[in-house]
Amino acid sequence: MQSRDSFYINGKWVPASGKTRIEVINASTEEVMATIPDGDEKDANAAVAAARAAFDSWSTTTPAMRGDYLRKIQEGLKARSEELAKIIAGEVGMPLKLSAMIQVGSPVANFGIYAKLVNAFQWQEVTGNSLVVREPVGVVVCITPWNYPLHQIAAKVAAALAAGCTVVLKPSEVAPLNAFVLADVIDSVGLPAGVFNLVTGTGPVIGEALVRHPEVDMISFTGSTRAGKRISEVASAGVKRVALELGGKSASVILDDADLPAAVKGTVNACFLNSGQTCSAHTRMLVPESRYEEVAKLAMETAKNFTVGDPFGGSAKLGPLVSGAQRERVRNYIRKGIEEGAELLCGGPEAPDGLPKGYYVKPTIFGRVKPDSTIAQEEIFGPVLSIITYRDEDDAVKIANGTAYGLAGGVWSGSDEHALKFARRMRTGQVDINGGAFNLGAPFGGYKQSGGGREMGPYGLEEFLEYKSLQFKPDAAALTASAVR
């Protein structure tokens, strides 16, 4: 078991102000794999003070200098990829091979993307007699979740640093160890003191202290819609900028002319990835009424391939859920689906055979789910798929848009043109057309209660920037000279 005793503040590892510890639990063994400090308001204040003191100098560095640091961080993370994959497989439960590819590969790539983007980005432009410049928003608090812990950290921290902001990171206390490795890497590359700071603890204590701190300019949060609402409420007292990436209940719409085997397989894969612990998971599969029986059979056959087991064993496609609380939450939703009359096609609330330890849940598919039922409306965050039938495409659009969320979705059709026409009617932040792959350069974020703001690529960088307009006299030669610096 490893322990972390200190926070990374102002370029140094410093002891937490209190003595309370948080246990980090291995999702597959239910054993304590590490302990971390449980931070409080004093720790929050110290981290914010360091970030504020570092802002003036960091915000005036050149894009090239910031890009060099981001590239060094990318290289440092890449050198510790194997270690990180094992840590996250233990914390979250994703099978090791997938953890290496997704949980580590994606954040490593993100730091590299921003290392390049920071030099290609248009930081200023001339419009009429004005020079319009982009400047960093200031001190940013990044609060991140446990399901894709390092990926969500990179999406925020890399973009904020590229923008010229200084950062205080509070990762989820459920899966925090990867963030400490990132801090180790950042320390080793010599990032100036105070530019990046790491504290850990619970949301109601250190999280709220960070959000309400008067010297914080922006909060970037990924997590539950409930927590996002609370953050918005607290931040509003200081009129802070808030970027939120929240829950989802995404629909995968299979149109009548789709390749059914490919569409069903793709939807089940998109639902069950990371044991369903994905905010953009396609948890509702919408199918024509006339094709239901065929689709249900294909879905059950596909689900058989999702073996559940030890994430370090090498053969399992689904590992455990992240915690005992999450396991019970998902099982309760499965029970609710049965109570409300949905057709249980496979899975169920019982523990999988042969797995007495670990937070495991059977991959579960419900058929003939009513669009307004609990399991069709609320985010479950587990390997649970609801098959819903529709009469025609207008009905399908109504059902797809008929939740409080709007984060992601998919459309399957015999032609991309047909799928695109339908996708334009969906009120959601991203739509996969016929199984289109996730794109780290495209904007990610949602409509409605899935949040506000976007991450990834130049769109994610823009979240951390302000506009400033500098007006000159129309004939001022200084305007042209300033624009080309």
Number of Cβ atoms within 10 Å of the Cβ of 90: 25
- Indicate which residue of 91, 173, 245, 379 is catalytic: 245
> Is 350 tagged catalytic?
no
Residue tagged 């322990």 (tokens) = 3
Maximal C-alpha separation, the chain:
80
- Indicate which residue of 142, 165, 271, 279 is catalytic: 279
The residues that bridge with 221 in the sheet, in sequence order, are 143, 244
> Is 340 tagged catalytic?
no
Q: Please report, to the nearest 10 degrees, the dihedral formed by the alpha carbons of residues 393, 396, 397, 402 taken in order.
A: 160
Closest CA to 331 of 416, 156, 121, 339: 339
Residues tagged active-site = 245, 279
